[in-house]
């Protein structure tokens, strides 16, 4: 597949428009120099629509679009559980977790851990997250993005990798989070619009030109097994999505860790102008998550009929893209680029924020002027993307599935991170040592389960390890003779009230999920 001149022109117009828009929204009033709050948290003035759009733009990238479509080609719409359960998780985060973070007026997750525990926990977790963000998340987004560009255009992998990295840096480096978040509404609009276009065209192709409804009916009739949302134990896909664990088990731990305690994601909500504005933005993101399987999963299911003999599942989405006419292909490809560079820019900004506010500021306290913090953030951001460009192919080039790389590394630590935060939120006696042991025990328990019980589904393993991590944190704290920590959170002082509009939206999402699973259980 190669883009013709019209497609290339559309992609070029998008790129130039995005760069100009980023510079425009990043401008400051005359006489005002950009400070750390401006650069890392957009001046704590983001509106709800920017928060919601930016959450989705940061989340959706090549690994979701390419990888999830490929999984849908294999197992059907059940893979959409990651998106649908994330919507419900976002409601929980908005109502019960976010008000605590905003009450503390923090910049970063390690900063919150320092205020709840001590500086040791901050330092350990800051270094941990920097390592994961640079060598796992940023690297995988860049590599999978380069693979997608190579598949669609034939561009050399190294050239594609460098081009994506430099493009993300060009539009985000100067303006910081403000440039990323305020341009993400364009990115998400393009992503959703392009995704819906490819879903419509693929369904029409399935029906032989009889229309979208006929195409969907054909999918139901010819591949009914791909519309099972919950797999039983004798299903060949049970190890990937083990039954009801996707509804009440380990997936909750994965989602809470990702959407609630992940700097890369929650930073947008920390930049809100108010708690209610942040909650509205998160609810907007939750509704978008309910729509995303239409954009990502449905084309993969359609590819099961249109291209049943693919050499690899990850070729499903690019194969369906090949159906698009000139002009439309350029638009959808621009949407794919939008998803990739937005995620790259978001990750770069989060890396810069943690490095600057949690490490640099404490190492050189005499040099932490606002100008110095912003300059350091930009250097850290650019350094991170350069490192990712250098190590992406050596780290990921030999993996048959790059998504496997992400799970093998982040999945080992997710339960411990979740335990660390939830103990800090809800058990006042948790000590700093107990919290650290809970976090560090996650890798030990995960490795033990992987070696000793290799057939245990990944999602179930996450749930079991989480319970063990909580137990370690409680026992370690008790052995220290723990009393209520002086900086423990008094949840009675946290205002978790939400507006009638938020409550109605949350109820609507819950009802949509119930209807979805009741229909295709």
CA distances 92 to 53, 150, 218, 266, 509, Å, are: 18, 39, 37, 13, 12
Residue showing tokens 């959407």: 259
What pLDDT is recorded for position 317?
87
Q: How far, in Å, CA of 384 to CA of 146, rounded?
A: 17
The DSSP call for residue 77 is: G
pLDDT of residue 290: 95
- Residue 432 and residue 348 share a domain: no
Residue 30: inside a domain: yes
Assess if residue 338 is contained within a domain: yes
Which residues, in sequence order, are CB contacts of 81 under 8 Å at separation 6+?
229, 241, 246, 247, 251
Q: Are residues 320 and 196 in the same domain?
A: yes
Identify whether 172 is part of a domain. Answer: yes
Tokens representing residue 407 in the block: 């799970």
443 vs 434: CA distance, rounded Å: 15
292 and 220: one domain?
yes
- 473 and 352, same domain (yes or no): no
Alpha-carbon torsion, ordered 79, 254, 346, 399, to 10 deg? -60
Question: Residue 236 to residues 231, 351, 508: CA-CA distances in angstroms?
Answer: 9, 39, 33
Neighbours of 451 (CB within 10 A): 8
Task: Check if the beta carbon of residue 68 is closer than 8 Å to that of residue 297.
Answer: yes
Q: Do 428 and 360 share a structural domain? A: no
Q: Report residues of the chain scoring pLDDT below 70.
A: 1-2, 30-31, 365-368, 398-408
Encoded tokens for 311: 């050499």
Same domain, 209 and 332: yes
Instruction: Write down the pLDDT at residue 403.
Output: 56
Residues 485 and 348 in one domain: no
Tell me, yes or no, whether 420 and 359 share the same domain.
Answer: no
Token pair, residue 514, equals: 């119930």
Residues 187 and 265 in one domain: yes
In a domain, 495, yes or no: no
Q: Tell me the CATH number at 512.
A: 1.20.1730.10
Residue 174 lies in a domain: yes
192, 291 Cβ separation under 8 angstroms: yes
- Cα–Cα distance measured from residue 64 to residue 428, given in angstroms and rounded to the nearest whole number: 38
pLDDT of residue 363: 85
Could you tell me if residue 148 is inside a domain? yes
Residue 433 sits in which domain range? 403-489
Three-state DSSP class for residue 275: helix
Q: Is residue 494 part of a domain?
A: no
Q: Specify if 53 maps to a domain.
A: yes
Q: Which residue spans within 379-444 are E strands per DSSP?
A: none
Q: Identify the CA nearest to 273 among candidates 39, 506, 42, 34.
A: 42
What pLDDT is recorded for position 322? 82
Same domain, 85 and 27: yes
Q: Token pair 């009675």 is at which residue?
A: 492
Task: Please tell me the pTM assigned to this model.
Answer: 0.93
CA-to-CA distance for 162 and 388, rounded, in angstroms? 10
Phi-psi category of 499—alpha, beta or left, where left has phi over 0 and alpha has psi -120 to 50? beta
Q: How many domains does the chain have?
A: 2
292 and 408 part of one domain = no
Judge if 154 and 195 occupy the same domain. Answer: yes
């Amino acid at each position: 597949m190669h883009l013709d001149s019209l497609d290339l022109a559309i992609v070029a117009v998008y790129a130039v428009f995005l760069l100009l828009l980023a510079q425009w929204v990043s401008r400051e009033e005359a006489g005002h120099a950009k400070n750390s709050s401006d650069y890392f948290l957009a001046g704590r003035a983001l509106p709800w629509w920017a928060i919601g759009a930016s959450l989705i733009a940061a989340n959706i990238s090549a690994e979701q679009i390419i990888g999830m479509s490929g999984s849908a080609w294999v197992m059907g719409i059940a893979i959409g559980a990651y998106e649908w359960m994330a919507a419900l998780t976002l409601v929980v985060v908005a109502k019960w977790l976010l008000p605590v973070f905003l009450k503390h007026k923090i910049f970063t997750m390690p900063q919150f851990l320092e205020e709840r525990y001590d500086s040791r926990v901050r330092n350990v977790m800051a270094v941990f997250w920097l390592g994961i963000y640079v060598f796992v998340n940023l690297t995988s987004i860049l590599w999978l993005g380069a693979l997608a560009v190579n598949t669609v255009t034939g561009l050399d992998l190294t050239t594609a990798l460098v081009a994506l990295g430099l493009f993300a840096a060009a539009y985000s480096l100067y303006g910081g989070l403000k440039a990323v978040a305020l341009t993400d509404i364009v990115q998400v609009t393009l992503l959703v619009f392009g995704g819906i276009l490819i879903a419509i065209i693929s369904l029409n192709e399935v029906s032989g030109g009889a229309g979208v409804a006929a195409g969907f009916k054909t999918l139901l009739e010819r591949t009914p097994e791909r519309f099972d949302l919950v797999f039983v134990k004798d299903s060949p896909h049970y190890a990937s999505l083990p039954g009801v664990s996707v509804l009440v088990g380990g997936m909750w731990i994965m989602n809470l860790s990702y959407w609630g305690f992940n700097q890369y994601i929650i930073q947008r909500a920390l930049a809100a102008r108010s708690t209610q504005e942040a909650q509205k933005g998160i609810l907007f993101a939750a509704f978008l998550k309910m729509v995303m399987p239409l954009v990502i999963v449905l084309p993969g299911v359609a590819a099961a009929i249109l291209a049943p003999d693919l050499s690899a599942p990850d070729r499903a989405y690019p194969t369906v893209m090949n159906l698009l006419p000139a002009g439309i292909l350029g638009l959808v490809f621009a949407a794919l680029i939008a998803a990739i560079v937005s995620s790259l820019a978001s990750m770069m900004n989060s890396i810069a924020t943690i490095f600057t506010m949690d490490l640099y500021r404490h190492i050189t306290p005499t040099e932490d002027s606002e100008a110095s913090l912003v300059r350091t953030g930009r250097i850290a951001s650019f350094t991170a993307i350069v490192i990712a460009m250098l190590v992406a192919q050596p780290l990921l080039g030999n993996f048959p599935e790059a998504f496997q790389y992400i799970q093998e590394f982040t999945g080992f630590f997710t339960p411990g991170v979740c335990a660390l935060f939830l103990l800090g939120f809800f058990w006042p006696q948790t000590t700093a040592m107990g919290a650290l042991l809970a976090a560090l025990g996650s890798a030990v328990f995960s490795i033990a389960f992987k070696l000793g019980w290799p057939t245990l589904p990944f999602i179930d393993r996450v749930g079991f390890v989480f319970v063990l991590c909580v137990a370690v944190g409680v026992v370690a704290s008790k052995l220290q003779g723990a009393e209520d920590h002086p900086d423990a959170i008094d949840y009675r002082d946290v205002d978790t009230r939400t507006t009638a509009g938020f409550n109605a939206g949350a109820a609507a999402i819950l009802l949509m999920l119930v209807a979805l699973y009741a229909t295709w259980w």
